[in-house]
Chains A and B, each alone.
Chain A
Amino acid sequence: MSKTNSKLASVNGVNRRQFLATTAKASCVMGMVGLGLTTVATQSRQLDPFAIRPPGALAEDDFLSACVRCGLCVEACPYDTLKLARWFEGAATGTPFFTARNIACEMCDDIPCVKACPSGSLDHKLENIDNAKMGIAVLIDEKNCLNYRGLRCDVCYRVCPLIDKAITLELQRNEKSGHHAMFLPTINPDVCTGCGKCEHACVTEQAVIKVLPSHIAMGKSAAHDTYQHTEETTLEMLNKGLSL
């Protein structure tokens, strides 16, 4: 009986003490490896502001939890817009992105990249490409924008797939000349899909209009600020006797 017990106590020639010691050592090593891995991954999950995710991409954190980095969206893209990120590049390694200044999103009606995604990191609920929110175009440098200098460049406005909805030209008197008009490209962030056509087409050496990820491009009002939910001004609301 005792012989059987001693045999059981050393399965594979390992006794309890050795087992515990090895397990403890291995767990410590794994703890360190885990910390290292997490550090590397957390550091490099910071997304480069010019790396734009494909249409339908979940918010960055959710996207990274879902994306399996298979490249099916990249292979589905008919315009070679999408790329997989490399190590030491702006997006988490192996995940899809595009750089609008190089190749912008052509906003295909059938959205092949989203359909190809097996993991749902590109949301299959996106059925109309006009509702995509890849990013938001921002006219980031008015000083160098030709339209702000009083010229009629209008290229960003003309190439916009949602012309007059996502980008409008707002008329303003040219104070410099005194008798001309300026046509200022103005972006409607609620409509802009972030396809990047405007950034791609901008004629200046460095684009003055750039697509940025929504979380960088957009501010956010406080939740208690009721004013944001209405078109009326604070004064009008006060005159009507509405609570602010």
Chain B
Amino acid sequence: MSSKHSSTSKLATRFASDAVEELGWWRSHRFLILRRLSQLSILSLFAVGPFFGLWLFKGNLSSSLFLDTVPLSDPLVTLQVLMSGHWPELSLLLGAIIVVGVYALLGGRVFCSWVCPVNIITDLASWVRRTLSLPRTSEIPQNLRYYMLTLVLILPIFTGFAVWEWLNPVPIIYRALLFGTSSGLWILVVIFLLDTFVVERAWCSHLCPTGALFSLIGKVSPVKIAAVRAEACNNCMDCFTVCPERQVLKPVLKKGSIQPLILDSDCTLCGRCIDVCAPRVFQYENRFNSKYSNRIPLKVESQL
């Protein structure tokens, strides 16, 4: 009873107030602000072309040309084109290889939390849920996204065209802003309502095939978040509340855990756990740092 009371009063006061007190407002919101800046800057880099004639990036997230020389393309749409039986021009393939390379280096789902504009909407939905203390919703399996990914890649074989691109919300936002095709934004309204009222974090953490693909790419990435001071954890659960993929936190915070690195590539590297943690448990780490490389973690450990 008393614990229930304390948790509601805590929500009523303010989420992560411990961290704000301990670290100050900036330190406890740092990565949230930086991520929003990153997402909006990348969108702006595309937008200054059509709006002001300053062509840094041409195209959109599906495929683009940086400074009229470097091609960049979405690996998911490139795979769909290949699956539909069309052999594209070299620039599309090269663009996809560059993008895969960059995210393999920076961390796969860095795309989701630092680039993808849909993340702003799903984070908003999550914030609404938290602020209104909406009741727990139905659960769907986290791995549904891999089924979605498989589906999205299989459908072009049977239909002969990139079916997913009709509904893919990621380029829809970019096209709406850059090309004035705003009528597709209804999909984002659906995603917002889904995330807020039907299933918590439904889109980004359960369904999105783009996220699933970047998660696979991130398996080889050196950038990880590590619970370097797990022993200082006071079980306030703020990181669990804010984490979009809270299953990745369990293995490193579990009592007696010897592996501080969050190796699960579902982690979006958003850094919110670093923000909201008053005892400063988490930080970004290089997985190949000698601190961690003295022993190879057992497979069971990374899967727990």
List chain A positions with a Cβ less than 8 A from chain B. Answer: 11-12, 22, 26-27, 29-30, 33-34, 37-38, 40-42, 44-45, 61-62, 64-72, 74-76, 83-89, 92-94, 116-121, 124
Contact = CB atoms under 8 A, between A and B. Distances in A.
A92 B166 CA distance: 7
B71 interface: yes
B144 A26 contact: yes
Contacts of A61: 160-161
Question: Which 5 A-B residue pairs are closest in the complex by CB-CB distance?
Answer: A70-B63, A65-B84, A64-B161, A70-B59, A66-B86
Contact of B92 (A11, A75, A89, A119): A119
A34 B151 CA distance: 7
Given A61-B160, A72-B58, 6 more contacts: A37-B163, A64-B161, A66-B81, A68-B63, A70-B64, A72-B65
Most buried by A among B84, B144, B172, B175: B175
B89 A120 contact: yes
B24 to A, nearest CB: 39
Given A38-B163, A71-B60, A75-B50, A65 B183 contact: no
B156 A65 contact: yes
Given A26-B141, A86-B184, A62 B86 contact: yes
A87 B179 contact: no
Contacts of B95: 118
B123 interface: no
Nearest to A11: B303
A11 B167 CA distance: 35
A34 B155 contact: yes
A11 B301 CA distance: 11
Contacts of B154: 34
Contacts of B84: 65-66
B135 interface: no
Interface residues of B, number: 57
Interface stretch (B72-80, B102-110, B237-245, B276-284): B72-80
Given A26-B144, A68-B162, A94-B165, A118 B63 contact: yes
Contact of B148 (A30, A65, A67, A92): A30
A30 B63 contact: no
Contact of A71 (B163, B164, B179): B179
29 contacts: A29-B144, A33-B148, A34-B155, A38-B163, A41-B161, A41-B163, A62-B86, A64-B160, A65-B81, A65-B84, A65-B85, A66-B84, A67-B162, A69-B60, A70-B60, A70-B171, A71-B175, A71-B179, A72-B64, A75-B50, A75-B55, A86-B184, A94-B184, A118-B63, A118-B71, A118-B91, A119-B81, A119-B86, A121-B86
Contacts of A64: 160-162
B133 interface: no
Contacts of B178: 71
B58 A75 contact: yes
Contacts of A70: 59-60, 62-64, 73, 171
Contacts of B163: 37-38, 41
A119 to B, nearest CB: 4
A74 B81 contact: no
B9 to A, nearest CB: 33
Most buried by B among A41, A44, A94: A94
Given A75-B59, A85-B181, A119 B89 contact: yes
B77 A68 contact: yes
B155 A117 contact: no
Contacts of B91: 118
A37 B164 contact: yes
B97 to A, nearest CB: 13
B147 interface: yes
B168 to A, nearest CB: 9
Contacts of B161: 41, 45, 61, 64-65
Contacts of A117: 89
Contacts of B303: 11-12
Contacts of A71: 59-60, 175, 178-179
Contacts of A30: 147-148, 150-151
Given A68-B77, A116-B58, A94 B151 contact: no
Most buried by B among A11, A42, A65, A118: A118
B186 interface: yes
B256 interface: no
Nearest to B163: A41
Nearest to A121: B86
